[in-house]
Amino acid sequence: MIPVKTIEWIGELDGVARLIDQTLLPNELRYLDVRDVEAMWEAIKMLRVRGAPAIGIAAAMGMVLAVRDCAPSCRDAFVAAVDRAAAYLNSARPTAVNLSWATRRMQSFVVNHLALPIEDLKQLMLAEAKQMVQEDNAVCQAIGRLGEPLIRDGDSWLTHCNAGGLATAQWGTATAPIYMAHAAGKRVHVFADETRPLLQGARLTAWELQQVGVPVTVITDNMAATVMAQGKVQGVIVGADRVAANGDFANKIGTLGVAILAKEFGIPFYVAAPTSSIDMQLASGHLIPIEERRPEEVSEGFGRRTAPLGVRIYNPAFDVTPHRYITAIITERGIVRAPFSEGLRALFEHSPSLR
């Protein structure tokens, strides 16, 4: 069984971006048809679509939605609308670099094709956004192929948050090696950290692994140390929202704790990330902007108050794990090990893109 499609474009230029509304999972699998850029911004902000690669694709489609009704007469107005849409969509979430990577790619695409009639350019922008979906599938499958041999028959691997198919177009980054090991007949079991406060691990990772038939056990975040101490975990694999040039990376809040635990217990800790999540402009992880979200996600998530009214709440959505905790970064272009600065630089200098 293959994972469900998280996001796709339906129809022609006058069509819709169709995405799974992830806020409703695991109770309901409902698709949302997004018809304008404001609705796409809201979907990204509210985590209806989430996960670094998926919000990049969503933003690219959002740019098409933003300009498809622009008058064909004025080139300058069209470019201004493209730039406005990029800035607007980038403002939805700051940490995952895939969002600005995708909007910048669309902006460059427009600039490089400005000689064309505006109506043709709109069609080509849509083709470019659709192309991102195809590329994402190829990239995730390449990560899967490279990561699969790291998993042994009978292993249990732990993951945090959701870097699965739901966080990409379809295959996931951290889940791709697991899906491939499972498809190859290896017995692989996954511990999914629940992932407070929004429960992406329990709601999303457990759901999608179950759909595909991979055995999965949900634990609360504070149980990770215990399952590791009990010798029940042979590997940890997580995704990344942004990897800095020295290998430090941002991922869902709680990832840092898991990485420290893995080191303590001598368990390999892998980061599965496409090169579109690597930000070579940032020297180290402390420069990564960290999104802070509404206090209510902590104090009354899912409709029930769990902290006293009026109490102070701190809700950073991501943390930064220093590269010293990472065994390897699995990208679509190869596996990078320490020293990460050199390895990541070489990745961008020597490897052909999968485009």
Give the integer Cα–Cα distance in Å for 287 and 246. Answer: 11
Tokens 């732990």 correspond to 158
Tokens of 43: 């979907």
CA–CA separation, 284 and 88 (whole Å): 26
Determine, following the binding rule CB under 6 A, whether residue 332 of this chain makes contact with ligand MRU.
no
**In the complex, minimum distance from the CB of residue 55 to ligand MRU, in angstroms, rounded to a whole number:** 7
Catalytic residue among 221, 241, 248, 319: 241
d(CA 141, CA 143): 5
Q: Please, are residues 330 and 163 in contact by the beta-carbon 8 Å criterion?
A: no
Mark 58-97 with x for binding to ligand MRU (rule: CB under 6 A) and - for no binding: --------------------------------------x-
According to the annotation, is 247 in a ligand binding site? no
Q: Of the listed pieces 8-16, 165-173, 183-191, 229-237, which binds ligand MRU according to CB under 6 A?
A: 165-173
Burial class (CB in 10 A: 0-12, 13-18, 19+), 86: buried
Binding flag, residue 241, ligand MRU (CB under 6 A)? yes
Residue 251 touches ligand MRU, criterion: CB under 6 A: yes
Identify the CA nearest to 96 among candidates 240, 238, 223. 240
Q: Are 44 and 53 in contact (CB under 8 A)?
A: no
The correct pick among 52, 132, 224, 330 for binding ligand MRU (CB under 6 A) is 52
Alpha-carbon gap, residue 228 to 237, rounded angstroms: 14
For 230-260, letters b (16+ CB in 10 Å) and e give eeebbbbbbbbbbbbbbbbbbbbbbbbbbbe
- The stretch near ligand MRU (CB under 6 A) out of 144-152, 167-175, 177-185, 320-328 is 167-175
Radius of gyration of the chain (CA): 20
Catalytic site includes residue 241: yes
| Non-local CB neighbours of 304 within 8 Å, separated by 6+ positions | none
Q: Out of 252, 254, 320, 330, which residue is the one contacting ligand MRU (CB under 6 A)?
A: 252
Q: Residues touching ligand MRU: how many (CB under 6 A)?
A: 18
Instruction: Choose the stretch contacting ligand MRU; rule: CB under 6 A; options: 29-37, 101-109, 162-170, 213-221.
Output: 162-170
299 touches ligand MRU by CB under 6 A: no
Q: Is 200 in the site for ligand MRU (CB under 6 A)?
A: yes
Give the one residue of 32, 65, 81, 163 binding ligand MRU; rule: CB under 6 A: 163
**Binders of ligand MRU among 10-49, rule CB under 6 A?**
47
Secondary structure element (H or E) that encloses residue 319, with its range:
strand 318-321
53 sits near ligand MRU (criterion: CB under 6 A): yes
**Residues assigned a catalytic role:** 241
Q: Using CB under 6 A as the criterion, which residues of the chain lie in contact with ligand MRU when the complex forms?
A: 47, 50-53, 96, 161, 163, 167-168, 173, 200, 239-241, 251-252, 317
